[in-house]
Structure 1
Amino acid sequence: MEKESLQLFLLAADRLLRCRWDGKSENVEILNSALDGETVREVVRDPFNEKKLYAATLTEIHVSEDDGATWQWLPSGGIDRRDIWTMAVHPSRANEIYVGTLPAAVYVSENGGRSFRELAPFRSLPDYDKWTFPPGAHVAHARAIVLDARVPDEIIVGVEEGGVARSSDRGATWEDISGPPSATAFPKVNDPAGIVPYEMGKHEEGRVYRDVHWVMRHPTRLEVLFASTGIGTYRTDDGGKTWSKCEYGMGRAYAIPMINHPAVPDRIFLGAAENGPATWAGHRTVRAGPYNTVKFSRNALAETGGAKSQILRSDDAGRSWTFLKSGLPAGHEHMTCGFAGHPDDPDTLCVGYTDGTVYASNDAGASWERLVVCQPKLYGVRLMRAA
């Protein structure tokens, strides 16, 4: 593979597709399919070895030593909650990998994924026993992990549905940074048997909504965080003491993926939808074992028209938003599943939808073109410089 080319990874419910893209044209070359039969949650590069990549699937961790051409399974002993939802590699400590799971727990490996230990104090957070999730058995999961070289001992975790938590000492202790304490943010009883019905939460002034899907830190202001949730996107300017809701003129404003513009610190791209998951066309998120509750999902596609998802951009750190429409489907019935930024060109990025379509922009979202590649049941997209 030429040094100047890019690798586009398509993370799907049944494989990992590795592609070559020049970063400009619509043409994409499929190089290989890997991890067949696996639901791929994440692919990240080792910051200390450009040829080494890690992949997290629904139940396993894999490593590639040749830039994604081949993969080897890692034993990853110690992860006893085997529904993996997210993975992050520490940017400044070699071989340190974090994993978030369902049921909600956080694990760390300090030997490159061969073994893990649980950061057990995470499960001692005050409202942990009340964290919930719509399908029975109403079990929350750690969905997002944020690490930052500027604060190397800090770990921020977004929980669906549990809010946002932070450790400042590598996981020894934790604090809830979802905003002011609330007696009504969670159900009084969270019944794992599913006999007590799920209770949807409500927006509370000063707090982030508990259903957190994505957490992102401002690139130049450590205390500014963003969280996408099931009823919109939130921002904190004080490290989680208080949160405010970003307004962008959508119905439910169900939001998932976000990405920063690397050269314009206040510029944010967001994928959001008018409607919630019961309305979405196509594939629903996979869960493992007893948590595979797809059969309980209501399908309201016919009566709603689907997700009606949109791509938005803010140039003032979430205070105002613009809908990006040129070249993109208007009100897509499928949900957006992820963004990927070009490692060298800050104005180039890709966005994927769950039907497998991928669009690219070379002008910071002003216009988009569909790429000639499609991987159904798409979960995410990642864009990396070829090693």
Structure 2
Amino acid sequence: MEGGVLVVEDAGTGSPTARRTFGGHDVECLASDADAPARAFCGTFESGLHRTDDGGETWERVGADALPESVTSVAVSPRDPAVVYAGTEPSAVFASADGGETWRELDGLTDLPSASEWSFPPRPDTHHARWIEPDPNDPEHLYVGVEAGALVRTRDGGETWEDRVPSARRDTHSMTTHADEPGRAWTAAGDGYAETRDGGETWTHPQEGLDHRYCWSVVVDRTDPSRVLISSASGPRSAHDADRAESYLYRREGDGAWERLDEAGMPTGPGVVRAVLARGGDAGEFYAVTNRGLYRTADGGDSFDRLDVPWPDAYERQTPAGLAAVPTVER
């Protein structure tokens, strides 16, 4: 959340607990390590990248000598938890092979031909790496969404970069992949939803039923990747501004049309900022956070329950920055 991280334990039970940690920072992004559940990374806009190794009890800044102060995306490799990626503003991608201790820039990103057109509308003189998605089936393959302007790739671990392709979205906000679906990826972008089946060479845009196409967060089911959930709004103000918010949650099954989840128990519509979504550890399990609270579904989105954790009035005015679901932390 704004100004800190909320750690919720026993989230899948009827008696979760919550504690606020890492206060006083302008949080931009969050990533966790499923193989080391006590470890997480948090990127901030003005104080760099931070890491916890004890479930959020304490945090330390990492990469201060190499990373810019504005870290806008972070990802842990699903194949090797020691490999961590960080995206920054201005747009750059850095990699660590030792869990965040040392970093190197993956040069050449802004040498791509389309880079001259990249621009973040609220600050048009700059742009940033909004999302990094490592391919779970190929350690050398990495997607990077630049906000705004391009979804680009490297297929050799960052030695070289491939520019956007004509069918890719230009304003990617988030992505997801699945270890059981080589070549597939799903994107939520400001200019709509898209998916690929060939590793990003071409993208399709199934939009039937998706009435709100400023898309923010996308997840697929852990055991059934044909089930996709996405959060969206009509535009950036209705997505992010609590005073003007009106956002929705959609689900797609297989090749069918999108279904809006208005009656599933999770608040949507006026007053609700766009949800940040995370895939849970079990079939049909997803988490979602908005300014109205933290929610969980165990049946693929048919019904959501609000987690019984304290939700201060201040959170009602905030726009969540990130969400990570990890196995139970043992400390």
TM range (shorter): 0.7 to 0.9
Q: CA deviation at 1:218?
A: 4.5
**For residues 365 and 41 of structure 1, what CA distance do their matches in structure 2 show?**
26
Deviations 1:225-256 (A, max 9, x none): 22211132012233333322221434451101
Q: Does structure 1 retain, via aligned residues, the 8 Å contact 2:51–2:59? A: yes
Give the aligned partner of residue 41 of structure 2. 54
Does residue 266 in structure 1 map to residue 254 in structure 2? no
Which one of the candidate residues 146, 160, 165 is aligned to 1:179? 165
Q: Structure 1 residue 94: deviation in Å? A: 4.9
Q: Aligned ranges for residues 32-71 of structure 1 at < 5 Å?
A: 32-46=19-33, 49-58=36-45, 59-71=47-59
Query: What is residue 188 of structure 1 aligned with on the other side?
Result: none
Q: 2:62 aligns with which of 74, 81, 84?
A: 74
Distance in 1 separating the partners of 2:37 and 2:240 = 37
Cα 1:15/1:282, change in 2 over 3 Å = same
One-letter code aligned to 2:117:
K
The DSSP-based 3-state class of the residue aligned with 2:71 is strand
Q: Give the Cα separation in 2 of the matches to 1:38 and 1:349.
A: 27
Deviation at 1:99, TM superposition (A): 0.5
Residues in 2 aligned to 1:64 and 1:49: alpha-carbon distance in whole angstroms: 11
Matched, 1:17 2:3: no
Find the aligned partners of 1:232 and 1:333 in 2 and give their Cα distance.
Answer: 22
Task: For 1:1-12, list aligned pairs within 5 A.
Answer: 12=1
Cα separation, 1, equivalents of 2:239 and 2:186: 24
Alpha carbons of structure 1 residues 253 and 162: separation in structure 2 relative to 1, 3 Å: same
* Equivalent position of 1:141 in the other structure: 128
**TM-score, structure 1 as length reference:** 0.76
Q: Is the 8 A contact 1:281 1:333 kept in 2?
A: no
Aligned residue among 188, 195, 200 for 1:240: 200
CA distance in structure 1 between the aligned counterparts of 2:146 and 2:70, rounded to whole angstroms? 14
In 2, Cα distance between equivalents of 1:281 and 1:50:
30
Q: Equivalent residue of 2:321, what SS?
A: strand
In structure 1, the residue matched to 2:289 is 352
Distance 1:65 1:278, change over 3 A: closer
**d(CA) in 1 for partners of 2:240, 2:232:** 15
SS at match of 1:381: coil
Q: Give the partner amino acid of 1:125.
A: L
1:108 aligns with 2:90: no
C-alpha separation between the residues in 2 aligned to 1:61 and 1:242? 33
User: Structure 1, residues 6-32: CA drift from partner, whole Å, max 9, x if none?
Assistant: xxxxxx11011112235143x5322x3
Give runs of aligned pairs for residues 220-369 of structure 1, distance below 5 A: 220-273=180-233, 275-280=234-239, 282=241, 306-316=244-254, 319-325=256-262, 326-343=264-281, 345-353=282-290, 355-369=291-305
CA deviations 1:24-79 (Å, max 9, x no partner) are: 43x5322x322111122333334554433322222322222222222222243211
Q: Could you tell which deviates more after superposition, 60-69 or 255-264? A: 60-69
Code of the aligned partner of 2:52: S
Gaps of at least 5 residues in structure 1 are 1-11, 181-206, 284-300
**Change beyond 3 A, Cα 1:93–1:362:** closer
Does the 8 Å CA contact 2:78/2:134 hold for their aligned counterparts? yes
Q: State the alpha-carbon separation in 2 of the partners of residues 83 and 381 from structure 1.
A: 19
- Measure the CA separation in 2 of the matches of 1:122 and 1:381: 27
Q: Secondary structure at the match of 1:379?
A: coil
Alignment match, 2:324: 382
Cα deviation, 1:333-358, whole Å, max 9, x if unaligned, reads: 33223112332x222222111x2512
* Whole-angstrom distance in 1 between the partners of 2:97 and 2:271: 42
CA contact (8 A) 2:232 2:239 kept: no
Q: Is the 8 A contact 2:33 2:40 kept in 1?
A: yes
Aligned residue for 1:314, secondary structure, equals strand
* CA pair 136-65 structure 1, distance change in 2 beyond 3 A: closer
User: Aligned with 2:119: secondary structure?
Assistant: coil
Q: Tell me the amino acid that sits aligned with residue 41 of structure 1.
A: E
Describe the shift of the 1:253–1:263 C-alpha distance in structure 2 as closer, same or farther (beyond 3 A): same
Amino acid aligned to 2:182: L
Q: How many residues align?
A: 321
Match of 1:37, SS state, is: coil
Structure 2 vs 1, CA of residues 330 and 153 (structure 1 numbering), >3 Å: closer, same or farther?
closer
